[in-house]
A = this chain, B = another copy of it.
Amino acid sequence: MKVEIVIPDWLEKLNNIAKSFKSDEDKMDFVIEIARINVENGGGPFGAAIFDIDTGRVLSCGSNLVLQNNLSVLHAEIVAIILAQKRVKSYSLSKIGKFELFSSSEPCAMCLGAILWSGVKRVLWGAPSEAARKIGFDEGPVFESSWIYLKSKGIEIKGGLLKDKATEVLMSYKELKGIIYNP
């Protein structure tokens, strides 16, 4: 038996662009754009991507597909991790090379845990958790000590990059009366 996760055409295309990015700002701008496109296509206001740290090349892109697939685990970060590991055929990206995950918003409790298992070496986000909580999403138990734990495992953490632009996507989702898919 196979369980299927539907990836929209526009996201599939982005996964095949094989583009390289130079700066952290350019990469963050890219995932914020993914979040924006996802909202236009009826999804939650979150985007993520995984890049090769050495070359800046995109390995995978994810957007929040909770509503489109009726699956609560399909946050942007989880989709990016699944597509990356499918691409390299390994349950740990650290076995393949050095990769970093960019997310338009601070990862929720689930995604924070998933990042640890994924094998990425660097995590960056735009909007802080409070911005997502402010529009109604229950981001779960994420504490300062949670991120300190990941750092202790050798993962570099950087939050708040282009945070105003990233927060704007969240605010526009609220204005559009987007579905807040809490349990």
Q: List the interface of chain A (C-beta within 8 A of B).
A: 1-7, 9, 12, 66-67, 69-73, 78, 81-83, 85-86, 89-94, 108-114, 116-119, 138, 140-141, 143, 145-146, 149-150, 153, 181-183
Q: Across the interface, do B72 and A3 meet the contact criterion of CB distance under 8 Å?
A: no
Q: Across the interface, do A116 and B89 meet the contact criterion of CB distance under 8 Å?
A: no
A–B Cβ pairs within 8 angstroms, 10 of them: A1-B12, A3-B82, A70-B90, A73-B73, A73-B82, A73-B114, A110-B116, A112-B141, A117-B138, A141-B150
- Contacting A91 at CB < 8 Å: which of B7, B70, B86, B94? B70
Q: How many copies does the complex hold?
A: 2
Chain B residues whose CB sits within 8 angstroms of the CB of A182 once the complex forms: 92, 117
Chain B residues whose CB sits within 8 angstroms of the CB of A153 once the complex forms: 138
Q: Across the interface, do A73 and B67 meet the contact criterion of CB distance under 8 Å?
A: no
Chain B residues whose CB sits within 8 angstroms of the CB of A92 once the complex forms: 72, 181-183
Chain B residues whose CB sits within 8 angstroms of the CB of A183 once the complex forms: 92-94, 116-119
Residue of B nearest to A88 (CB): B70
Residue of B nearest to A69 (CB): B91
Chain B residues whose CB sits within 8 angstroms of the CB of A1 once the complex forms: 6-7, 9, 12
